[in-house]
Structure 1
Amino acid sequence: MGRLGVALLAAGLLAAGLMPAGCSTGRGLGTISVGEALPVDADVVSGDGRGPVADASADLRGGDLSVLDVAEATVGPDAADVVVPDAADVSVPDAPPADVPLEEQVPEELPCEPFCPGICGPDGCGGSCGECPEGQSCVAGVCFAPQACESPKDCLEGVCDKGKGVCVDCLEDADCDAGFRCAAQECIEAVMCVSDKECKAFGMICDKEAGYCVECLSDLDCPGDHFCSEEQCIDDVCVAGEKICAVTVISICMDNGSGYLPGAPCAVGTFCEAGACKPWVCTPGAVSCDGDVLVTCNEWGSGPASQEDCTASKSACVDGACLPVVCQDGTKECLDGKVLVTCSEKGTLEESVACPAGQFCQASKPSCVPWVCSPGAQYCDGKTAKQCDAQGGAVIAEEDCGASGKVCVQGKCVSQVCLPGAVWCVSGQAMAQCDADGMGYDTTACGAKESCWDASCHAWACAPSQPYCSGAIALVCDALGKGPIGAGLDCAALGKTCAGGACVCTVPTCQQVGVECGNVPDGCGGTLHCGVCPLGLTCVGTKCTCVPACAGKVCGDNGCGGSCGTCPIPLQCVGGNCACAPTTCQALGVSCGLWDDGCGGTLTCGACGEGTFCDPTGQCKPCTCTGKECGADECGMPCGTCKDGKGCDATGKCVTTEPHCVAKNTPGCPGCACESCVCEIDPFCCETAWDGLCVDECVNDCGGVACPEGLCFPMCEGVTCGSDGCGGTCGSCTAPAACFQGNCCTPACDGKECGDDGCGGDCAECSAGNYCADFKCVP
C-alpha cells in the first residue's frame, strides 16, 4: 500500500476519533488533522496498486469521499474483513491542556486497551493485530506485497532494500520524516520519552538512550513466545532447543526462539532426518534396480528421488538403466555355424560368442562342439578322398580312389607322377626325391658353392662357367663347377703369364725395374710412369739425386745432408752467412757489471743493491771494512781516518813511513814526485782541483813516478765514483748510469739517433756517408 493510502487511512481514523489530532502518517506526507483537506495533488491509490480510485482533494468533513471509502480503497479488495469503527464506538480520553508536560499527560495507572484499526501489526499493548502472508509486509495495519527493485529509482515511494530486492518504507531513521523513526523497515511515530512512564499507555517502554518509546529492548520485554528484534517483539520462529535438519547439518533453535544455530554436520555416509543423523539408505545420486523398477537415490542418501517402472515401456531394469527387451530370456541359437548367441537373463541383450578353435556351433542343440573334420578341407582317409562342410560338422562328399587304380593325394584321386623313393637332380642346383606314394616329390636346394650331379650335391671344383688359372695354364670351368673344360692353354709357352684365366703380359713395377723417376717402357707395349722426385731432389736419368744448394751461402746445410762451410769462432752461421752472435750474461756466468759481449759491444749485467759491490768475477758481494783501519770499503764508504802524521796504505792500515804522496786539490802544495809535470800537462790539477785523474797522469804520463806503495792517501772529497788517486775507487754507479767526472751520470738518448749522451759519450754513430745534426743522422 502506498504512503498516501496510509495517510488517507490515518485521516479516516482521525475523523473517527481513533487517532489523536495532529498525528502524522510518516515519511514524506506531512501531518493530516481531522477536518483538514488533503493536498490538491494527492491521489487515493487502490489496494492492488493499479491507480487512483478517487480525487483526494475533497474535504473529508463534507466531501463525497467517506472515511470508509478511504479505508476500503486503501486496504484493497483482499482486506474485506477490515472494519473501520465509527467514531461513536471508540472511547478517546479528553486531550490534556496544551501546557501540561509530556511526561504528565499519561496517567500512571491508565489501563492499556488494544487498538487494531487494521488486520496486522502491533495492537499498542504488546500484542498483535494479525500476521501477513509470507512475502507481504504490514504497513499501518494493512498487508501488501512489496514492489521489486534493484535501485532507489525503481521505488515510487520509500527506499530500495537491495539485499531483499524490494521497496520498503525505510532502512534507517534518516529515511523517515522528523518525528518518526524506522522500525522493521517502517516509519512509525517516534513517541518521545525520558522514562517508561510516558510509554506505558502505549504498551511500550522507553529507549532512554534514543529518547523514544519502543516495544522492547531485550527478549525479557516481550511475551514468552516472542523475541525482541529491532526494538519490536516478534513471534518466536521455533521452540528453544528444538532440532531440525538443514540439508546435512543439525540446527538447534536458540534459547530466545529467534532462529536456529547451525550445529555439527552429519558425517560422510549419513543424512539428517528429524534432527538426527542416520546412515544413508542409498548412495546419493546412485541409480539402481529394484526388480524392474529404476530407482534414483536423492542427493542426501535418505531415499529415492525418483522411481521408474521399466515394464511400462516394454523394457527391463538392468545395471541401473531401463533397456529394451530384444529376445526371450535364456534362449540360444547358432549363427553361421560358428557363433553361439545367448539371450541375457532379462532378455535385454544378445551375447554372441565365437566357438573356440577346433569347434563349431551345433544347430540342433545350440552349443559349441568339436569339429568332425577341418572346415571346408579336402583330405584323404586312407585311399578314400573326402570333403568337409564349411563348419567342420560333417563330411559332405567322399570317393574310393583305389577302385579306379589311383591314389588319394590331398583329398583327390590322382595318378602317380614318379617312382616312389627315386632321387634325381633338378637344374643342377637342387636334389629331388619322390614321395612314397609316387604322387609328388620334395626338393632340397644345394648349399652355397655347390651343384647337383650324380643325384647328390657336391662342392664346386671351380666356379661354374668361369675362367681360371692353374699355375701357368689358362682354363674354363664347366657349368656345374665339376672341373675344367678341356686341357686349357699353356701361357708360359707363349712367354706370358696366366692371370684371371687368360694369358697376359705382366707389367713390372718401377721398384722391380729399379726406376725412381721419369717414364720408361713397361715391356708390354706400354709406358711405366714412375713419377717425380720428392722436394729437394732432382731426377737424373731415372734416379732421384740431391743437388747441393750453396749459392749465396758460406755456411750451413747444403740441402743434401752436407755443409756449405763453417764459421770461425766466435762467429755463427745465420741465414747462410757468418755473423757474430753476442754472448749473454748467463753464458758468462755473471750477475752484475759491464762485460764484453764478444762482438765489440758491452753487456750490461745489472747492478748490485745497496751495501754490496760487484767483484771482479761479476758477482755481488757485501761491502766490508773488515781488517781495515782507514780508507774506504768496496762501496766507497769510509772505514776510518788516520791520525796526523800517518797515512793510509793500500791495505787500509795507518802507517808513518815518509815520504808519502797525497792527492792534492790546492795548487802549489807539495804532492807526488811528478806534481810539476802533471800541472804542466793538465793545468786543472794545479789551478782548480787535484783529483784522481791527476794522480793517474802523474803515474802514467810523467815518467811513471808514483808514490811508494802504501803511501798514497786517497782523495774522494766531492766525488761519488771513479778512481780515488791511489789505485782504488770512490764508488760505483748503478746501470744504466756511468761515472762521469767523479759523479754518476745517466745517458740521455731518448729520441736521439746520434750525438752526445750527456755523460761524455755518444748515443750512436751514424753510418758511412751520414753525419750527425741535431741528434739526427742526415746524408
Structure 2
Amino acid sequence: CCDAHASPSCDDAGVAECVCAEDSYCCEESWDEQCVNEVEIFGCGVCGGGDEPCCLPHGTPGCEDDAVEACVCAENPYCCEEMWDEACTAAVTELGCGICEESGPCCEAHGGLGCADAEIEACVCDVAPGCCEEGWDEICAGLVEFLECGICEPPPPPDECCAAHDAPGCAEPDVEACVCAGAPECCEGPWTDACVEAVELLGCGSCGGGGDACCEVHPDPMCEDAEVTACVCAEDSFCCETEWDQACVDGVELYGCGVCGGGGDSCCEAHALPGCADDAVEACVCAQDEFCCNQGWDDLCVQEVTMFGCGVCE
C-alpha cells in the first residue's frame, strides 16, 4: 500500500478499504502516488515516509522511526501530512511515543541531538550531520567556533576569595589554604561571608574592603586600593585591623606600595617637605632613597633625580 502501482487496491485490505472510502479511484483504476500519500493523510496507516530524526524539527512530513511517527500522527495528522515541526517533536515525549532529550548548550557536549540554539545547530549540522542524528559530542561543540557558527564564551572565572559563593574554597590556592587552616568549614561547605572576613582576619590576604583613599588618614581599617592595602598591611597589620592612621599613609610610599604625591614643590629644588610635585619622579627617587619621601626633599634628593635617571634637573 505504500508503493505506487498500476493495478487498483493494495495488499492490505483494511488500508485499501479505508483509502478507497475517501478516494474510489484507488480501488477502481490504479494505486498511484496520490493513493500512497492518502494512506497517512486519511489516517489509514503509516508508510514511514519520513527519514529525518523524530526528535528534530524538519520541513518534510513524518520521521525515521515508524512506530514513533504513527503514534504522533494518530493525534496530530499534520505531522505526517505537512511537516514535522517543533510541535511534532514535542509530541514525541508529551504523548509517550518516545523520549527526546532536551537540547543542551551548543558549546558543551551532551547526550541530546542538536543544541539549544537553532541557528548554530543548523550551521554545525549542515557540515556534520551526525551532530543532529547521533549526538552532540565534543567535536560538535568544537565546531561551533571552528565553523564560525557562533561564539563560545570562556568559562566563568573561579570564585573570588573576597566574595561569598556556594562552592567550597576559592580561586587563590594560598589564600584558600590559609583561611581553611583556621576555618576548615570554608573548604568543606560554601565560602560564606565569614570566610571572606577570615581572609584579612587571619592575615591570609586583603580584600581591599576600605572605601577611603590610601593617602588620607581615616578611622576605618584598610583603604580603597586592594593592592596598596595588602602591601602596607603585610608590613603593618594595624592598618588592616584597627585604622588607617598617618603611619599607614606614610607606609604607602615607605614600603614601596604606591605614591601619594605628598610634595608640592619642584623636584629640582630642595625643600623641607618630603616628596615633590612630579609623582613619577618622586616614586623613582624614593624607591632608592626613602629619606626623600619620609623626611624631606633635600639637595641630595634633587641630585638623585638625574643620578637615578628619574628625570633631568638643569
Q: TM-score, normalization: structure 1?
A: 0.11
Q: Higher strand fraction: Structure 1 or Structure 2?
A: 1
Q: Which has the higher contact order (CA 8 A, sep 6+)?
A: 2
Q: Higher helix fraction: Structure 1 or Structure 2?
A: 2
- Greater C-alpha radius of gyration: 1
